[in-house]
Structure 1
Amino acid sequence: MGYEDELPIVDVFICTADPLIEPPSIVINTALSVMAYDYPSEKLAVYLSDDGGSELTFYALLEAARFSRHWIPFCKKHHVEPRSPAVYFAETTVSGDGDDDEWSMVKRLYDEMENLIEEAVKLGRVPEEIKEQHGGFSEWRSGANSRDHQSIVQILIDGRDPKSVDIEGSQLPTLVYMAREKRPNHPHNFKAGAMNALIRVSSAISDGAIILNVDCDMYSNSSKSVRDVMCFFMDEEKGHEIAYVQFPQKFNNVTKNDIYGSSMITTYEVDFPGIDGNGGPLYIGTGCFHRRESLCGKKFNDSPKVELKRGLNMSPNDNALNLQERLKVLASCTYEANTQWGNEVGLKYGCPVEDVITGLSIQCRGWKSVYYNPKRDGFLGIAPTTLAQVILQHKRWSEGDLQIFLSSVSIIDNLIPTGCNFQVSSAWCIPFAYAFIAKYANSVFESLQSGDTIRGWWNETRITLIKRTTSYLFATIDTTLKLSGIDNSSFAITSKVTDPEASERYESELIEFGGSFSPSFAILAILTLHHLACLVFGLKSVVFGGGVGGFEPFLMQLIMCGVLVGLNMPVYEGMFLRKDKGAMPGSVTLTSIVLVVMILRRRLRDMKTGELRALTIMNGFRKLFK
């Protein structure tokens, strides 16, 4: 009992930005999964930041609050895992304890809630009869939209209210909806701005000593996670040094051979455990438990352990309606003016990967972090299911990483690639060949040791190549434009919505190219066709130009070109063999063929011109010496 009394208050932050890209049904499943944690409900508060300012998301959370009265006691009674109702009901048909009637009843309530939400989303609005049931919908009567609206703060479940109980009479966790103020003439700093507004609003309600932030599609997969991390924060010897505990980012929809390399398996199974022994891992933006004081800018000092528990800041006599009005100031777009928010306090602004740079700044203030990768994954999300989503996601990440690289905290590493412009018969071939073979042999070994497959490693190698020629290129262009003051970066959200046919192709591990003309796909198609043409002409030169011996100076380039062609076989299939909707758009294929033909004609013409010049010079020398 004493241990339970010492547990600190935990605030959970969930961020969403667009009800069309991030459907409310996904968002509320994440919210319900963390509301049902195996943790004292009176010490748990869940906050949803809706940067879309959508009444649809508010309505979905309101329905989730009602359903939680049944869902939370059901989870705790039957030890449900995972506690996302959508995932749980998809995986089970009975409760496991023989109480099929209760399972059926809760399932029916969930289906009813899901249908109500999906109907509202299809309509694009909340029915008027539903709006009349809750005063919070009045916030949208002023014509608010996603880019221009006032602060909205609604306490849907008041954790201090004795009436906020489930169907069995147990206390429910606090649940709060927040849409910070948005005005076209004020910068809103994307997710970092939303997180900082949540820090301020939560400090006036529950003021949890520990803050967990999760993406809206990253549901809790283990109800024990919040208790597990307390073993780190509450450790009597080293707990006071820890700023945050980071879980790996994992997904529940990755295919067997991980067609898009989304799992980053060697990063989470090899790299992060290694970094854990050297000050701790990076903060990766989701699945991370923070010490509030370190997130708010406090420097580490080796003093005795500070009490973590903290407490509710709301007075028992404070009316929730009045409190909501006062909290709106904390979520206003002018509150941060002339303050250190986004600089020394809270998450840092000015970088698309606000999580990474924030984590680095925390470590620079003397704190340490912990990487925790339990056998049962703590959180599971939705991996991108199309190539366009993958390219967009990595463009955002690489743009942020490039900005960090160009900043004052840059660490230059691993920039010089292994060269391959040497002759096979040369002695210099040995060290280069050794480095090349050792690098990729080690890569294969690490992947297999981490539970990947050979085909999975091959897929990841392909995606790495694609990212380097598309995501990194456009990230460099956007960063250059931003640094030169020509344009400002925008935060692109990866869509969580996928067409059913595209989902089937994803499950079959077919790369999804379908859609309209894309510059990224055009660049990819041009490069892959050029590699194929170079391989064909190279082989022709070997066969008809005197054999391998005459082509020996370029043999290594020919081999590398063959590897590139092998890696890009799915691209050729998408361009020429596939007939489904996920094939490469015809406009991209046609454009790439025309451009590659033009490039090759120009190169052949230049080669012929060079040969004629060489012959002319040689004839001149012959005449001179005659």
Structure 2
Amino acid sequence: MADELFVPLYEKIARKNTIQRSLDITLLFLLVSLLGYRLFCLNNHGLPWFIALVCELWFTFNWVLVVNCKWSPVEYKTYPENLERRFPELPNVDMFVTTADPVLEPPIIAVNNVLSLLAADYPADKLACYVSDDGCFPLTFYSLVEASKFAKLWVPFCKKYKIQVRAPFRYFFGDSEPSSTDGNLEFQQDWLKMKAEYEVLARKIEEAARKSVPCDLTGDFAVFCDVERRNHPTIIKDDTLLNEFGNSEELINSAVQALKGKKGFPNNLSNSLEAACKVASCSYEYGTSWGTKCGWIYGATAEDLLTGLKIHAKGWNSALHMPELPGFMGCTPSGGPEAMAQQKRWATGLAEILVGKNCPIIATLTAKLQFRMCLAYLWILFWGLRSIPQLCYAALPAYCILANSHFLPKVEEPAIWIPIATFVTYNLHTLREYLKAGLSIRAWWNNLRMGSITATSAYLFGLFAAILKLLRISETVFEVTQKDQSCDGDDPDVTKFTFNESAVFVPGTTLLLVHLISLLCLSSKLPTPVHDMHGVGLGEVFCSLWVVLCFWPFLNGLFERGKYGIPLSTILKSAALALLFVHFCRT
């Protein structure tokens, strides 16, 4: 029996890292060389050279933090079969699903989340799922009541056939359809039955969503009558279902809470979780502290990062767990207002942490956080502050073309090979990481492009929001974003960038217009050789073209209509700013 206590649950395996370390060091050497060259030639150049130096200092510092975080990568080989041997009495597990608005976050998404969690490969009597609806909508409760009926069929089906993709809308509309040659007739029949049942569930929820009142507000639904969204008492609904399947019991415990802060107070997720923990059957040392020590009570929108920081400061360690991608239920849009809002919220939270009382530097100085863990948090926090250096660096090529200046060595100078080697090495390095992770070149390019777009737009507004809060001019608010119901890979529009009239799209549109104007002005000077134009070099022209490529979705948006087109108001604002920039460059 004593030997059972030492049965390993996982094994930490050091990953060979020779090539990656070589590339990391090479890139760091190139960055330091570029800084050294800029400092050596600083007196012979003007403002663009100095701005490039400051921006590259930031990039180099950030790269040092990146190298620290990925210097010694490890992989975890897990042994779930040893779990019951190690712990004959498995602990209770409580899972939380949060939602706030059935229009922006369709209930079918929350339903699929709950169903995928309930069907997890874990003893059913030790598994509970709690759904927090901060908007107090009867539609959410109605959807979950109907989903609980479907769960009585779905959970046994998943466990009987060991289904890994447990979110129904992913499973039935993916590649799981049994073929006609499949010899398992029972599975084919069960599959068709389950799909029909899920379609009935989805249709009921869809029809309820079309009504002003989704159902009769009587019985269990009576508490939702005449509820004021921003000022109502806590509503807790507990729905426990017991389903017999063979010799096993499937316990489905789904508590629906519709919570909201008192009038005059901001939407506070920690309030929801605090109430949820009062209902929970076990939530342990840190679970019971939600609402008093964890959550948005910290005063920042990045409460997840703050919770991790607090836990690490108490001596906890973390392990990276990356399940197979099909196991994920949700879908993140490739770009658009929702993605920008999420990135802005994230950047605001990072800035709030860095300048607040929970800064990891303070935790390290008070001996509450390991130094290397502090560097890892600083990398994340400084990543959210990269908007200004990246925006300045992206605008430099256009400025140099318009002002007949340069921030890169001339083509004929040997030093030109330093920025070229840096650019090539960095992009090949990141591409290699994507390919090694099993991702495509297209995924690499999309993420590289979106990194430039979000850094110069959403992150910029997030930084301003944090500064306004620091100066006590305004408070940050938690914005609920629109969630996609479908992520069909065959849909040609699913990866298209969408726009609205939000000011977050003004910087990107302005930057694109500035580069288009600069390239247009340059073309009017041809056929004069580019490298002979009063200091304008071929490097600046290439960088300007690169920025246009990165902001290609904005270029498409100038000519599209509807949600795929940039609104006229945004174009006019950006055009005015672009003309001011051009005037500044010419003076």
The answer for the alignment partner of 1:98 in structure 2 is 185
Task: Show the counterpart of 1:548.
Answer: 531
1:524 paired residue number: 508
What secondary structure, in the 3-state scheme, does the structure 1 residue paired with 2:319 have?
A: strand
- The alpha carbon displacement at 1:366 in A equals 0.4
- Given that residues 542 and 551 in structure 1 are in contact (C-alpha distance below 8 angstroms), is that contact kept between their aligned partners in structure 2? no
Q: 2:422 aligns with which of 411, 432, 435?
A: 435
Q: Is 1:563–2:549 an aligned residue pair?
A: no
Q: 1:106 to 1:558 in 2, by over 3 A?
A: closer
Aligned to 1:207: 282
Q: In the TM superposition, what is the alpha-carbon distance from 1:16 to its structure 2 partner?
A: 1.0
Contact 1:21 1:496 in 2 (8 A): yes
Residue identity opposite 2:464 in structure 1: I
Query: Closer, same or farther in 2 for the Cα pair 1:178/1:432, shift >3 Å?
Result: same
Cα contact 1:54–1:145 (8 A) shared by 2: no
Distance in 2 between residues matched to 1:345 and 1:570, nearest whole Å: 39
Pair 1:487 & 2:474 matched: yes
Show the 5 A alignment for 1:23-34.
23-34=106-117
- Over 3 Å counting, the alpha-carbon distance change for 1:70 and 1:520 in structure 2 is same
| Closer/same/farther in 2, CA of residues 47 and 375 from structure 1, 3 Å limit | closer
Report which stretch shifted further, 561-570 or 29-38. Answer: 561-570
Any runs of at least 4 consecutive aligned residues in structure 1 with deviations exceeding 6 A, and if so which? 1-4, 414-420, 498-503
SS of 2:329's partner is strand
Aligned to 1:538: 522
Deviations 1:550-592 (A, max 9, x none): 444544323211211222233222213x456522223333443
Distance 1:24 1:503, change over 3 A: farther
Counterpart in the other structure of 2:497: 511
Displacement after TM superposition at 1:504 (Å): 4.2
Query: Across the two proteins, how many residue pairs are aligned to each other?
Result: 460
Which TM-score applies when normalising by structure 2?
Answer: 0.70
Distance 1:3 1:443, change over 3 A: closer
Q: Which residue of 2 aligns with 1:293?
A: 285
SS of the equivalent of 2:360 reads: coil
Evaluate the alpha carbon distance shift between residue 589 and residue 551 of structure 1 in structure 2; reply closer, same or farther with a 3 A threshold.
same
Which ranges of structure 1 fall in alignment gaps of 5 or more residues? 159-163, 209-291, 298-340, 607-626
Instruction: Quote how far apart the aligned CAs of 1:101 are.
Output: 3.9
Q: Mapping of 1:554-593 within 5 angstroms?
A: 554-576=537-559, 578=560, 582-593=564-575
2: CA distance, partners of 1:518 / 1:387: 10
CA distance in 2, matches of 1:70, 1:521: 46
Counterparts of 1:442 and 1:571, CA distance in 2: 27
Cα deviation for residue 428 of structure 1 reads 4.9
Cα distance between partner residues in 1 of 2:294 and 2:545: 52
Question: Is the 2:237–2:257 Cα contact (8 Å) retained in structure 1?
Answer: yes
Q: Given the alignment of the two structures, is residue 175 of structure 1 paired with residue 254 of structure 2, yes or no?
A: yes
| Structure 2 portions without partners, runs of 5+ | 1-83, 362-374, 397-405
**What is the deviation of 1:459?**
2.1
Give the C-alpha shift of residue 83 in structure 1.
Answer: 1.8
Check if 1:421 corresponds to 2:508.
no
Q: 1:139 aligns with which of 223, 239, 242?
A: 223
Per-residue displacement from partner, 1:244-279 (whole Å, max 9, x unpaired)?
A: xxxxxxxxxxxxxxxxxxxxxxxxxxxxxxxxxxxx
Deviates most, 382-391 or 12-21: 382-391
How do residues 261-272 of structure 1 correspond to structure 2 at under 5 angstroms? none
Measured in 2, the distance between the counterparts of 1:378 and 1:2 equals: 26
Aligned equivalents of 2:557, 2:294: Cα separation in 1: 48
Secondary structure at the aligned position of 1:543 is classed as coil
Amino acid at match of 2:428: A
| Counterpart position of 1:117 | 205
Q: Deviations over 1:376-410 (max 9, x none)?
A: 65433111254111211100111111112223325
Q: Secondary structure at the match of 1:173?
A: strand
User: Alignment RMSD, CA only?
Assistant: 3.2
- Equivalent residues of 1:506, 1:512 under 8 A apart: no
Amino acid at match of 1:582: Y
Distance between the aligned counterparts of 2:333 and 2:581, measured in 1?
34
Cα gap change, 1:71 to 1:502, in 2 (>3 Å): closer
Deviation at 1:346, TM superposition (A): 6.2
Summarize deviations over 1:159-215 as a string: whole Å, max 9, x none.
xxxxx22465724232211223532134442x343333323331xxx115xxxxxxx
Identify if the C-alpha distance between structure 1 residues 549 and 102 changes in structure 2 by more than 3 Å, giving closer, same or farther.
closer
Alignment of 1:186-585 (within 5 A): 186-189=265-268, 191-202=269-280, 206-207=281-282, 292-296=284-288, 342=291, 344=293, 349-375=298-324, 378-407=327-356, 408-410=359-361, 421-424=407-410, 425-426=412-413, 428-497=415-484, 504-507=491-494, 509-513=495-499, 515=500, 517-541=501-525, 543-544=527-528, 547-552=530-535, 554-576=537-559, 578=560, 582-585=564-567
- The counterpart of 2:234, out of the listed 151, 158, 162, is 151
More helix by share: 2
CA 1:567 to 1:48, structure 2 compared with 1: closer, same or farther past 3 Å?
Answer: same
CA contact (8 A) 1:150 1:181 kept: yes
What is the CA–CA distance in structure 1 between the aligned matches of 2:513 and 2:203, rounded to whole Å?
47
* Kept in 2: contact 1:296–1:346 (CA 8 A): no
Q: CA deviation at 1:4?
A: 7.6
CA-to-aligned-CA distance 1:481-537 (integer Å, 9 cap, x gap): 111112111111221146999994534x43223x4x332223222210101111232
